[in-house]
Structure 1
């Protein structure tokens, strides 16, 4: 695989959302010299569009943004926004591969930020998952006040709605007139039995005093019963199987 030097980028090939190839490096120079709010705002709308679309200039800028993140909240936020979209069809895999070292250091910075219990805790938590290449969780995980996941039952293929939050913790069949019908309570996994990503998520939330998030994770990595055929399945496994992107 051809690799790009994270320090030296051929910006003539790295267009932003307007097709420009010179504006983003100029803006990066500005924010590296001073905390210019106007420059940060322009960078964000040049690098990231709605619907999770990131342009080559966004991935080219990522190493510099991650290096700035230790002293700049806007850099940390924008780098996180780009990284959480890194599994999309963007054609920039070489750029991502070239900044693996910066991503590793960025993940350490994010962990320190999490321990400070910041107001942007959930966004930082999601970016940490993306830095671990757990993009599917980084894209959908909420704070479990009102979370819903839609899965196909692995046995009968009926669509099952999984609710974890203020509405309850259950599996159900969603009826657009009647709501969630034939509810079955979820079976959370005991915290000591969690492993892998689920264990990291739970232990991090507990460490940082986010009890509701931790409890929700035990349900997310627990089991659900299909209301249609009564099959019992692992929620996280089925969601991961259906949604984990292919990292090219």
Structure 2
């Protein structure tokens, strides 16, 4: 049972969120959903304790309410880091597992905003890093250090090419080297899930981008070959709670 007297929202209130939850549980009140979103989640990855306290009730509503599904996904996407609400997340582990199944069914319906529930599903699997940084591969760039010579390498995966390069302030991306996408047989772990799910749902651009992201790149400086996703994640993955 949540002790709401200790669960403040972004305004420091402890009683407004429970009242709003009661409203949306009775009817799909658009105004109440907007206020809930403002009170529970701020930009720059900040979720207030009331957000995690509200999560079990949002997860229960998610099967019949699109706003609940979206807000629950937003909160889960910001669950990495030191927020002091580990116990609240642990208490709804089973509900989060069911939420992941719900998102998978939703993805199979091929919604117009496919990438959003796709990233929410990643967050439900505690793949917070990829949930935060994965783009639609129309114009995506990933910056990492070559593991062999430490030079900063820009990885481009988008409409303008799929390559590794050295970024020059004046000249742009120079000395480009084409990426080597992973085959379906080479993928494993979360990369395999991401690729196979995108293929299943007919998301060809997303699947191709994932194959390149989890493939290999050649450093333009030293010609060393490395796994893109592994190097990028090791340098940029957030410190988990």
TM-score (norm 1): 0.95
Q: 2:187 aligns with which of 194, 197, 203?
A: 194
Match of 1:127 among 120, 127, 134: 120
Which residue of 168, 184, 197 maps to 1:175?
A: 168
2:223 alignment partner in structure 1: 230
Equivalent residue for 2:10? Answer: 17
Query: Does residue 113 of structure 1 match 2:103?
Result: no
How much does 1:55 deviate? 0.4
**Are 1:27 and 2:30 matched, yes or no?**
no
Q: Which residue of 1 aligns with 2:50?
A: 57
What do residues 39-71 of structure 1 show as CA deviations (whole Å, max 9, x unaligned)?
A: 000000000111111100001111110110000
2:150 aligned to 154, 157, 163, which one?
A: 157
Local SS of the residue matching 2:185? helix
Partner of 1:102: 95
Report SS of the residue matched to 1:192: coil
Q: How many residues align?
A: 241
Partner of 1:139: 132
Distance in 1, matches of 2:112 and 2:103, equals 13
Q: Partners in 2 of 1:120 and 1:11 — Cα distance?
A: 33
Deviation, structure 1 residue 246: 3.5
Is 2:75 aligned against 1:82? Answer: yes
Q: Distance in 2 between matches of 1:142 and 1:103?
A: 23
Q: CA deviation at 1:119?
A: 1.4
Shift of 1:219: 0.4
Residue 70 of structure 1 pairs with residue 63 of structure 2: yes
- Per the alignment, residue 45 of structure 1 pairs with 38
Q: 1-side partners of 2:127 and 2:70: how far apart?
A: 18
SS of the aligned residue for 1:171 comes to strand
Deviations 1:57-110 (A, max 9, x none): 001111110110000000000001111111033221111111101100000000
Which portions of structure 1, spanning 4 or more consecutive aligned residues, are displaced by more than 6 angstroms?
none
Gaps of 5+ in 2: none
Q: Residue deviations 1:167-209, cap 9 Å, x none?
A: 1000011112111111110011111221111111111001100
Q: TM-score, normalised by structure 2?
A: 0.98
Q: 1:157 and 1:91 mapped to 2: Cα distance?
A: 35
Compute the displacement of 1:244 (Å).
2.6
CA contact (8 A) 2:81 2:239 kept: no
The separation in 2 between residues aligned to 1:73 and 1:176, in whole angstroms, is 44
CA RMSD of aligned residues (A): 0.9
